[in-house]
Structure 1
Amino acid sequence: MTRQDKAQLISDLTEKLKETDHFYIADTSGLTVAQINKFREMCFNKGVEYKLVKNTLIKKALENVDGDYSSLDEVLKGTSGIMFVNETANAPAKIIKEFKKADSNDRPKFKAASIDSDLFIGEDQLGALASLKSKQELIGDIVTLLQSPAKNVLTLLQSGEHKLAGIVKTLSEREN
């Protein structure tokens, strides 16, 4: 690969990192070609872009992005693939866990992730990332919580409208 090709790749990777809020780094070494193809297919089906990129090129691209990504230097060793996702931040974590479970393999190894500029480093973070709720799920939960008290009040009023009418009538008669 020529210097010009590397510079172009770093530029493309920098733009991709700037336009996505979430990216994951995983190690797929040790997987067969068939397994890697299956993993890539899973990524594609879930709207996740997966690229195998040299660690030095990832480091150089991260230097051009706002934020401190220096703590990722310790995980950028060996084989690294980078996964980009725009919408659902937990999709790559779920894909990695699902692939490991389905294939009875310890690969791909989760190295690190950046979710809205927060860094998650190490395999032990994978479970927490997979259980993160998406923005849409959180909004749905909030709407449900907000609707719940109103529904309860309406249900009580409707079920006891005869009782309520009787109580109001009794109170109005007492005052006379």
Structure 2
Amino acid sequence: MDRAEKKAFVTTLHDVLQQTSVVVVAHYSGLTVAQMQALRKQMRAAGATVQVTKNRLTKIALDGTELASVAGLLKGPTLLAYSTDPVAAPKAAVAFAKDNDKLVILGGAMGKTVLDPEAVKSLATLPSLDELRAKLIGLIQAPATKLAQLSTAPAAKLARVVKAYAEKDAAA
């Protein structure tokens, strides 16, 4: 990479990191190419991105962002996993690290909050944004459904009583 390409890369990475809400930093040494491709595929499916960059360029790109606190973790062969959904990248990284012990989660950041490896793992246990939205919609719809059931229940009970009396009279 020449100087112009490095500058363009740093600018692009800086813009991407400005828009992300969470970043996870991990060591990846020992992973095979097939395992890295599986990690990228799993991250893509979760709505996250994995990027292996030079630590020096990443530190420059992190300057001026809320995620600048992860710069201290960038030592050795590291990768960045990031997403706009606060749960997607940690969830995919923890799931992959569970199956592959070569991926070691060092920590991360969510906004200005620094995350240690345990915080990343606990963040991964939270439901995703889409799951939370579905639960919220279910909770909002539940009272209306219950109200509709309660309003029709007395009429249904009355209809069953009338039917029972009609059948009793028909049998007699």
Normalised by the length of structure 1, the TM-score is 0.74
1:72 aligned residue (70, 79, 83): 70
Count, aligned residues: 158
CA RMSD, Structure 1 to Structure 2 (Å): 2.5
Does residue 32 of structure 2 align to residue 57 of structure 1?
no
Task: Flag the 1:33–1:143 CA change in 2: closer, same or farther, 3 A.
Answer: closer
Corresponding residue for residue 109 of structure 1? 104
Report the residue type matching 1:109 in the other structure: V
1:124 is aligned, of 104, 110, 118, to 118
Q: What is the aligned partner in structure 2 of residue 149 from structure 1? A: 143
Contact map agreement 2:23 2:108 (CA 8 A) in 1 = yes
Q: 1:162 to 1:54 in 2, by over 3 A?
A: closer
Q: In the alignment, is the contact (CA less than 8 A) between 1:111 and 1:121 conserved in 2?
A: no
Q: Which amino acid aligns with 2:76?
A: G
Deviation at 1:163, TM superposition (A): 7.1
Which residue of 124, 130, 134 maps to 1:140? 134
Higher helix share: 2
Q: Distance in 2 between matches of 1:57 and 1:81?
A: 12
2: CA distance, partners of 1:12 / 1:3: 14
Is 1:100–1:107's contact at 8 Å kept on the other side of the alignment?
A: yes
Q: Which segment drifts farther, 145-154 or 55-64?
A: 145-154
1:63: how far off? Answer: 0.9
Unpaired stretches in structure 1, ≥5 consecutive residues: 165-176
Instruction: Give the direction of change, closer, same or farther, for the CA distance of 1:118–1:3 in structure 2 (3 Å limit).
Output: same
C-alpha distance in structure 1 between counterparts of 2:79 and 2:67, whole Å: 20
What's 1:95 paired with? 92
Looking at structure 1, the residues matched to 22 and 70 of structure 2 have their Cα atoms a distance apart, in angstroms, of 14
Give the CA deviation at 1:81.
Answer: 0.9
Deviation readout 1:97-154 (Å, 9 max, x if unpaired): 322333xx32312223333x14342221232221222322222212222222232222
